[in-house]
Amino acid sequence: MRKEGQKLVGELGKLGAEVEFVRSDVRHEDDVRSLVDKTVARFGRLDVAVNNAGTEGKPGLVTEQSAESYAVTFDTNVLGTLLSMKHELRVMLVQGRAASSTCRLLRPYRRSRGISLRGQQARR
């Protein structure tokens, strides 16, 4: 993951973007807090955040699912979004105004795809 992240930083840097790679797991609050804090330290503020980490979990019938596989899916898709917005808004509210958005690419059935968008605007 780190190698791919650094490769992407290089590619975007060649296009003139100011980019930073910070490896984080949205299921862990300390990672999310650190990601937001490092972003603010590097760029001075956080104006926009798009939360798009997600997983469709283990493919298969409900009867084939385990509590553990469901917990990984839930923690990534739901808890990860909550933790991300919590820490993004923690710094955005102090700044006065910004926006945090959630974008999930969903595949509720094998070949169908959908998009779910949710937004939260921070106001002081």
What H or E segment, with its residue span, contains residue 114? strand 112-123
CA distance 65 to 57: 9
Q: What integer pLDDT is reported at residue 91 of this predicted model?
A: 92
pTM summary value? 0.75
* Statement: residue 116 has pLDDT above 80: no
Q: Which amino acid, one-letter code, is at 80?
A: G
Q: What is the pLDDT of residues 40-99, one digit of tens each?
A: 999 999 988 888 888 888 888 889 889 999 999 999 999 999 999 999 999 998 888 766
* Statement: residue 6 has pLDDT above 60: yes
